[in-house]
Structure 1
Amino acid sequence: MKAYVAGVGMTRFEKPETRDWQYWDMVREAGGAALADAGITYSDVEQVPVGYCFQPSTAGQRAAYELGLTGVPVYNVNNNCATGATALMLARQLVEGGACDCVLALGFEKMKKGALGGGADGGARGGAADDWSSTSPVARHYGIMAARHGFEMTPPTAQIFGDAAREHMEKYGTTEAQLAAVAAKNHRHSAHNPYAQFRDVYEVADVLAARTVHRPLTKLQCSPTSDGAAAAVVVSGRFAEERSLTGVVEIAGQAMTTDTEESFASGSCIDVVGQPMSREAARRAYERAGLGIEDVHVVELHDCFSVNELLTYEALGMCPAGESGKLVESGATTYGGRWVVNPSGGLISKGHPLGATGLAQAAELVWQLRGEAGERQVPGARVGLAHNIGLGGAAVVTLLRAV
């Protein structure tokens, strides 16, 4: 049985503590928008997977209760930065497997100010050495980083991705300007996105001149902490036909992978931060959809740091290994190029509330495939790809197709 996205919604992503709201307020706004977009009510929903990272157990129920008290099962989902796409995947599996005809996937995050740490509690800030102690689920990842590059007193997530960037530069000749071109492109795209946390436009020179977080990454190449929520209604073809739903988008293929031996064998941060996971998830999603990257028009990918966009180009098959810096520099990944990557502004400029990110990517692609993206519309978009990854690890690749 095929699964379709019938409705999407999201809040504006905002700097933590900007707005006086709770996570359930965010979910009421995003979830209510998705239900209205689908043309259904909460009473039609049969199950609800809810993704988040920084709230206690059953926060998913507290959030979903704002939409209705119907007694349906609510699942609390936590898969690090891939949490939102994981909730979407669970919704898709419930529909495709025939267990449900209508599932609402929710994702939210209410975060603290400051850099995201790598601690076992998931909410640590700063760069303390015990952020990747033996109790942390990512201790193995940071241990490989430290063995090759040492450990500095900078935010650990920026450090591990910054070290991956340096490896890419040393191995392939990638330049700091090429890394900065990713951020400049995504900041430029976000200027047309009313949901984006940042809407300022920066040139490559501005990105390079910003404060260094961990060499070679500057502040404008790093995704911010954010508050926000997103949602998607996933339905069967039968449900869509019976309700005469319009604007549905097919989930043509989807796959999740976790770390394999390849992630750790090389001792490279390029592998540790997830490029092998992404490559395998893409391969499986293409196979299931009967599509390839050559069929894709618009991409929303996980640019938590500028280097991860370059690594993901290679993982998705958009270019050979080592050629991603030249690809972004050529203009192939913006309007007028071969693909438009992160028309929303991506994580770097749209924002990155962890539990909401994957679902926000899906929302952007649904709007693009319906032709509803306004000034950021990708002309003729019929197939979209979403890539959401979490250190520790999980990578989800989703192919969406206009009906």
Structure 2
Amino acid sequence: MQRRVYVIGVGVSRFAVTCEGAASLDEVIEVARSALADAGIARADVNQVIASYSPGLPVGYWREALGLPATSSGCRQAGPRESVLMLARQAVANGSAECVLALGFDQTDNDPDQGQGAGPFRGLGGHQQSPGGNRVQAHGDAALEYLSRFDVRPETLAMAAVVAREHGSRHPLALFAAPLTLEQVMADEQVAGPLTRAQCCTRVYGAGAVLVCSETFIARSGARAPVQILAHAAVAHAQASDDAPLYSAAGYALNVAAARHVYEQSEIGPEAIDVCELHDSTTIAAVLLYEALGLCREGHADRFIEDGDNTYGGNVVINPSGGLLANGFSLRATELAQCAELVTQLRGEAGPRQVKGARIALQSHLGLAATREVTLYRCD
């Protein structure tokens, strides 16, 4: 039987637009220390560190750098396509560790996209490729089909970017925090189908740290404000019918399947979710996720957006951090940053971006190797 898993500490760096701004190892250590301080535990309490894939680092680097005791079970480097947060959660759930520190960070030697520029669209769909090999155009084509299929106005997609920037303006770490008007989003350079530059995320670099632990560890250590990971699902393959819309090829069926698994595991439905962090690499990606995650009915995302149900005062606040549209996409830190935002929200510590009364939170992340990951959190 799987044990309960809790998040007790989080830390995130400010993201940078260029690879020269990638987190140094010293900065990663500072983020790890922030997570430890946030949890209120000592370094000696950490059993294990699971860090991002980083060729060249010796096996014991993190133990020595973080001052962990020799009695700790050690450090593990994730594979090039592995999620550090998922590995940490599994280690606690299966009983192989009591307290695990997950470290995700971007460096030029652990980023398969390092040779490309850092402009918009890098990492737009993770490693997902459209049949023509153009990820940006795949999103543009999906947007055109969606607008036509459901008779949605292009302005509605642009409204999702306006909301993201408004949320980002409340977040002190947001990289693109200046609010945008609908007119500004629509007038920006058009890049693929109806999508403008402001409707697409930018590839960025950063670092994040999350401490996960068991219920036994909490009782023993007195760690503060535990947030439970209620359910998690990772889906890499899903069957789509031959007559499925084009956007299904962009991962819609995968997201539906991952969300369904999480709701079945937890016996909690989407109507109970107070706050959500999702992978809005483009505005059409956000719209499709609203529907795939069950936050609104298929083909009804336009009403969801236009009625303000994706923001404060609506049904569910989506990406109070500003999401990828306001923070950019870090290949190895975004997943941890999403977790950190939701934990902060569930603790009631998010300041001007706090979602009032938040108790149930959903995370939807495009993982490495284009795996769709959905996680549900609760704070009692």
**TM-score relative to the length of structure 2:** 0.89
Q: Which residue of 2 aligns with 1:8?
A: 10
2:182 alignment partner, one of 174, 192, 204: 204
Aligned to 1:189: 167
Matches within 5 A, 1:155-174: 156-174=134-152
Q: How far has the Cα of 1:122 moved from its partner? A: 3.7
- Structure 2 CA distance for partners of 1:168 and 1:59, relative to 1, 3 Å: farther
User: One-letter code of the match for 2:330?
Assistant: P
- The partner residue of 1:289 within 243, 254, 266 is 266
Whether 2:27 is the aligned partner of 1:39: answer no
Query: Which secondary structure state, in structure 2, belongs to the residue aligned with residue 347 of structure 1?
Result: helix
- Is 1:99 equivalent to 2:96 in the alignment? yes
Q: Say which SS state the counterpart of residue 248 (structure 2) adopts.
A: helix
> Which of 234, 237, 244 lines up with 2:215 in the alignment?
237
SS of aligned partner of 1:363: helix
Partner residue, 2:106 = 109
Share of identical aligned residues, percent? 37
Q: Aligned to 2:335, which of 342, 358, 364?
A: 358
State the one-letter code of the partner of 1:335: Y
1:344 to 305, 316, 321: 321
Aligned to 2:80: 78
Shift in CA distance, 59/109, structure 1 to aligned 2, threshold 3 Å = farther
Supply the distance in 2 between the matched residues of 1:275 and 1:391 (Cα, whole angstroms). Answer: 17
1:90 aligned to 73, 87, 92, which one?
87
* CA displacement at 1:61 relative to structure 2: 6.7
Relative to 1, partners in 2 of residues 1:16 and 1:70: Cα closer, same or farther, differing over 3 Å?
Answer: farther
1:4-403 map, 5 Å: 4-16=6-18, 19=21, 22-51=23-52, 56=55, 58=57, 66-68=65-67, 70=69, 72-79=74-81, 86-110=83-107, 121-123=112-114, 125=116, 141-143=129-131, 146=132, 156-262=134-240, 265-266=242-243, 268-390=245-367, 392-403=369-380
CA distance in 2, matches of 1:43, 1:69: 6
How large is the Cα RMSD of the aligned pairs? 2.6
Which has the larger displacement, 377-386 or 280-289?
Answer: 280-289
Q: In 1, distance between residues paired with 2:271 and 2:46?
A: 36
The alignment partner of 1:188 has SS state of: helix
Partner Cα distance (2:317, 2:60) in 1 = 36
Cα 1:237–1:138 change in 2 (3 A) is closer
Read off the aligned partner of 1:33 and give its amino acid letter. Answer: S
Task: Provide closer, same or farther for how the CA distance between residues 51 and 272 of structure 1 changes in structure 2, counting only shifts above 3 A.
Answer: farther
Distance in 1, Cα, partners of 2:232 & 2:242 = 27
Structure 1 residues 392 and 88: CA distance shift in structure 2, 3 A: closer
- Compute the displacement of 1:390 (Å): 3.8
Tell me by how many angstroms 1:315 deviates. Answer: 0.6
| Cα distance between partner residues in 1 of 2:198 and 2:127 | 25
**Structure 1 residues 172-198: Cα deviation after superposition (integer angstroms, max 9, x where no partner):** 122211111111100000011111111
Q: What is the rounded CA distance, in whole Å, between the counterparts of 2:141 and 2:255 in structure 1?
A: 18
Structure 1 unaligned spans of 5+? 132-136
Does the aligned pair in 2 maintain the 1:253–1:288 contact within 8 Å? yes
CA contact (8 A) 2:278 2:364 kept: yes
The AA in structure 2 aligned to 1:44 is: D
Matches of 1:272 and 1:61, distance apart in 2? 42
- The alpha-carbon deviation at position 243 of structure 1 amounts to 0.6
Q: Point out the more displaced range, 268-277 or 186-195.
A: 268-277
Q: Distance in 2 between matches of 1:294 and 1:58?
A: 45
What is the rounded CA distance, in whole Å, between the counterparts of 1:232 and 1:188 in structure 2?
26
CA separation of 1:247/1:203 partners in 2, compared to 1, >3 Å: closer, same or farther? same
Contact in 1 for aligned 2:23/2:205 (Cα 8 Å): no
Contact 1:23 1:63 in 2 (8 A): no
Partner SS for 1:325: helix
Indicate conservation of the 8 Å contact 1:3/1:234, yes or no. Answer: yes
CA contact (8 A) 2:23 2:106 kept: no
Cα separation, 2, equivalents of 1:179 and 1:27: 36
Residue 63 of structure 2 contacts residue 75 of structure 2 at CA under 8 Å; is this kept in 1? no
Report the Cα offset of residue 110 of structure 1: 3.8
> Following the alignment from structure 2 to structure 1, what is the Cα–Cα distance between the partners of residues 58 and 269?
38
The worse-fitting range, judged by mean Cα deviation, of 314-323 and 235-244 is 314-323
AA aligned to 1:314 is E
Change (3 A) 1:366 1:60: farther
Aligned length: 367
Q: Name the CA distance, whole Å, in 2 between partners of 1:331 and 1:343.
A: 13
Give the superposition deviation at 1:56. 3.7
Letter in structure 2 aligned against 1:214? A
Write the distance in 1 (CA, Å) between the matches of 2:188 and 2:270: 33
Unaligned runs of 5+ in 2: none
Question: Which residue identity lines up with residue 67 of structure 1 in the other structure?
Answer: L
Cα distance in 1, alignment partners of residues 326 and 6 from structure 2: 28
Question: In 2, distance between residues paired with 1:60 and 1:167?
Answer: 49
